[in-house]
Amino acid sequence: MNILILGSGGREHTLAWKIKQSPKCENIFVAPGNGGTGKVATNLDLSIKDFDTVSAAIKEHQIDLLVVGPEEPLVNGIVDFLSKDKDLKKLKIIGPTSAGAMLEGSKEFAKDFMNRHNIPTAKAKIITAENLEEGDQFLDRMQPPFVLKADGLAGGKGVIITEELPDAKMALRELLVEKKFGKASERVLIEEFLNGIEVSFFVLTDGKDFRVLPEAKDYKRIYEDDKGPNTGGMGAVSPVIFADRSFKEKVTRKIIKPTIKGLQKEKIDYCGFIFFGLINVGGEPYVIEYNARMGDPETQVVLPRVKTDFLELLIATADGNLIDMDIEYERYSAATVVLVSRGYPEFYEQGHEISIGNTRMVLPFHAGTTIKEKKLVTSGGRVMALTGLGKNLAESLGKCYSCVEEVNWEGKKYRSDIGFDLKNIGQ
């Protein structure tokens, strides 16, 4: 079977690495890929925003299965586009249509969807430039911290949390009046703050059935102790100790099942991953966000823990036969530490040559790397994720941190406390 993965991050490197292990995998391509994917797959140098070019590449390389990594092409309708092509009738696709991707593409849609299907989530109100004053009044009645969310895709930067009421009102204006994220912030959700610890769940669904992948916790802030601005993710661990059997049962019953049923009821065909960003509030799970794809860097800890042939799982998903597949997990723990460029998540440097020493203790997944004049150089904010596997969290983290100084470039940064909060509660 020939496989094409769209995207260029650590998530896509991990997907390629995992899929390649299946005996069913013949040829594997990543578009556009990065300096690491080029080692396990063939990189195709094309823009995934250009759906015609993607379609031509699928035909040229006789692709049987397409996996769409990031959210943007999904929200922009790549699956709808390819599904209409008569010559691609046999193409298997992992990724929802744009209607399904609205779970991620519009926070207002997601909130209304959860309310329609009684899925636990924070209470919220939608505000536009026209009813700004109503927004102010709503904030006046709330307790801090205040949570504001741009409705549309904002590259992971669309959520603002502030302690002070005047800051919240100012942020509301920045989003709606100054249109900080353009069209994406023409509508803003003001949301109740949920006090608890975060955990992410992932499922593969064919629209009828679903299989739950290992859960993960990611570390979004740039600095230790969860300080500083949000990033795409500075590290992740799996499993997550507080997500015990009873919590998982609640997540399945109160969140995952009603979500899949809700999609069916609303006649939204959904074939692919759903990422549930949850907060555990006193043992009860609440949804803070849906994503229509796998997480990055969560994929770097989730996939190594899947024991079942991952390509077979994807094929069953695309064919609507997930009911016939069981999913087994590996028993070990996984942790990943992301190495980033100086300046990230704001303006960051690029083009520094990367030297890699002894990384045999970890799985080194590439993100913002590229080959330039035969040298591996940095080309993004998040450059590499080092995943350690061990019998427990301490061992997997120990492996990550024993290798972080083996990968170097000018201005490399990382968080030195990934997983430490969970270690303290005994994982």
Least distance from ligand GLY to the Cβ atom of residue 84, Å: 28
Which residue lies nearer to ligand AMP by CB, 194 or 294? 194
Which option in ligand GLY, ligand AMP, none does residue 232 bind, with CB closer than 5 to 8 A by kind? ligand GLY
Does residue 220 interact with ligand AMP by CB under 6 A? yes
For helices 132-141 and 165-176, angle between their N-to-C axes, nearest 10 degrees? 160
Which residues from 40-99 bind ligand AMP, rule CB under 6 A? none
Q: Residue 46's binding partner, choosing from ligand AMP, ligand GLY, none, with beta-carbon cut-off 5 to 8 A by kind?
A: none
Using DSSP bridges, classify how beta strands 333-340 and 235-238 pair: parallel, antiparallel or unpaired: antiparallel
Contacts of 178 (CB under 8 A, 6+ apart): none
Of residues 22 and 37, the one with the C-beta less far from ligand GLY: 37
Binding flag, residue 194, ligand AMP (CB under 6 A): yes
**Ranges within 92-131 binding ligand AMP (CB under 6 A):** 122
Closest CA to 176 of 164, 192, 188: 188
Of 277, 390, 398, 411, the one binding ligand AMP (CB under 6 A) is 277
Rg of the chain in Å (alpha carbons) = 21
Distance CA 8, CA 112 (A): 32
Look-up: residue for tokens 């570390």? 219
If the CB atoms of residues 32 and 277 are measured against ligand GLY, the closer one turns out to be 277
Could you give the CA distance from residue 339 to residue 378 in angstroms, rounded to a whole number?
Answer: 11
Q: What is the DSSP letter of 306?
A: B
Q: Which of 81, 109, 138, 193 binds ligand AMP (CB under 6 A)?
A: 193
The residue ranges that bind ligand GLY (CB under 6 A) are 156, 218, 232-233, 291, 295-296, 298
Among residues 293 and 412, whose Cβ is nearest to ligand GLY?
293
- Using CB under 6 A, which of 289, 296, 298, 309 touches ligand AMP? 289
396 and 389 Cβ atoms separated by less than 8 Å: yes
Q: Does residue 142 bind ligand AMP (CB under 6 A)? A: no
Q: Characterize the bridge pairing of strands 124-128 and 375-378.
A: unpaired
Using DSSP, state whether 37 is helix, strand or coil: helix
Q: What beta strand segments (E) does 256-396 contain?
A: 272-281, 284-291, 333-340, 355-356, 363-366, 369-372, 375-378, 382-390
| Partner from ligand AMP, ligand GLY, none binding residue 332, C-beta < 5-8 Å depending on class | none
Which among ligand GLY, ligand AMP, none contacts residue 92 (Cβ within 5 to 8 A by kind)?
none
Report yes or no: 256 and 212 within 8 Å, Cβ to Cβ: yes
In the complex, least distance from residue 220 CB atom to ligand GLY, rounded to whole angstroms:
7
Tell me: does residue 191 bind ligand AMP (CB under 6 A): yes
Q: Which one, of 184, 159, 155, lies nearest residue 70 by Cα?
A: 155
159 contacts which partner out of ligand AMP, ligand GLY, none, CB within 5 to 8 A by kind?
ligand AMP
166 φ/ψ angles, rounded to the nearest 5 degrees: -60, -35
Structure tokens at 34: 């990065």
Pick between residue 290 and residue 377 the one whose CB is nearest to ligand GLY: 290
- Site residues (vs ligand AMP, CB under 6 A): 122, 147, 156, 159, 161, 191, 193-194, 198, 220, 230, 277, 288-289
